[in-house]
Amino acid sequence: MSKVFKSILNTIPRPWLISMSLWVRPLLDIYWRGHRYTDPINGKSYRRFLPYGYEDMRSNVLSPGTLSLERHRLCWLYLKEHTELFSKNIKVLHFAPEQAFYPRFRRLKNIEYTTTDLNSPLADVHADICALPFDNNQYDMIICNHVLEHIPDDLRAMREIYRVLKPGGLAILQVPYQGNREKTFQDDSITDPKQRAEIFGQYDHVRVYGMDYFERLRRVGFRVEAFDIANELDLAQIQRYGLAPGELIPLAFKD
C-alpha cells in the first residue's frame, strides 16, 4: 500500500488529487472504521490510519475520514481549545485550504471565510502569496500551513501575510521543520525535482527549515510563540490521535 500511495502522490498533480479525493474519501472512511485511533476533526475512530509521504513514507498518519495528517489534527486541537474561531465573528484567510478543514470552516456562520491559492480548485481567490490582492489589516486570523517551504522568497510571503493581518490578529504558519537542525538550508541552484526530494524532502520544496524558522518570522515583525500539545495531552492521547510527538505549532501574532 505504501508504494501505491507514494506513486500516486509523485505522479498526479495536486489539484487532480484534491478533486479525486472528494469521492475516494467516503469509501476509505467506511472501510477503515475501528476503535484503535481517533480523528479529533470528525470524532470518528478507525482501526488504523493510512501511510503518506512523497519521499519517505510515514506509516499510520493519514486519517481515512478527513484525509488529515498529524499537522492537521494538531492544528485542529489548538483551534478548538485555544481560539475563538468557532464562536466569534471574525474574518479568516486560509491559504491552500486543506480538505480536512475546508468543508467545516465553510459551514461556520460566525466567520467571514476566504480561501486563496495559485492552483487549488478550493480557492476563492487565485493569487500569489508574495503579491496578495488584499488591503492592509484585513484579517483576524490567517491559516497558512505547509505553504512557505514551496515559496522561493519566503520572507516576502511572510511580509505579505503580516501586511494583511489585523493588529491583534493571529497567523498559524506551520511548516515542515527539523528539530535537530539549527539553521534553515536553501540552495536555489537545486531545481531538479529528484534532487529536491532527496535534499528537501519533497519534489516541490525549495528549502528545509531549521529551528531558526521562528526567528525568521520575528524578522518581519511577528511576535512568535510555539504551542506544544504535550503540555495538554499525555502520550496515550497523542498516539490515539495520531500526532507527531514534539511537533510545535508556530503562532505568529501582529501586535
Residue 18: predicted pLDDT: 58
Residue 193, classed as helix, strand or coil, is helix
User: Rounded to whole angstroms, how far apart are CA atoms 253 and 203?
Assistant: 31
What's the CA gap between 230 and 145, in Å, rounded? 20
What pLDDT, on a 0 to 100 scale, did the predictor assign at position 140?
Answer: 98
Per-residue model confidence as pLDDT tens digits over 68-106? 999 999 999 999 999 999 999 999 999 999 999 999 999
Of 253, 75, 76, nearest in space to 165 by CA: 253
Q: What percent of the chain has pLDDT over 90?
A: 84
Architecture per CATH, domain 71-253, reads as 3-Layer(aba) Sandwich (3.40)
Band (5; pLDDT cuts 50, 70, 90): very low
Q: What would the mean pLDDT of 209-219 be, rounded to a whole number?
A: 98
Domain-by-domain residue ranges, the chain? 2-69, 71-253
Of 52-56, 172-176, 212-216, 222-226, least confident by mean pLDDT is 52-56
Element (H, E) at 106: helix 102-107
- Any idea which of 15-19, 102-106, 119-123 has the lowest mean pLDDT? 15-19
pLDDT at 173 over 80: yes
What's the pLDDT at 27?
Answer: 82
Q: Where are the beta strands (DSSP E) in 58-217?
A: 58-62, 90-95, 111-117, 125-126, 139-143, 165-172, 185-186, 207-208
pLDDT band at 16 (very low <50, low <70, confident <90, very high): low
Q: What is the pTM of this model?
A: 0.90
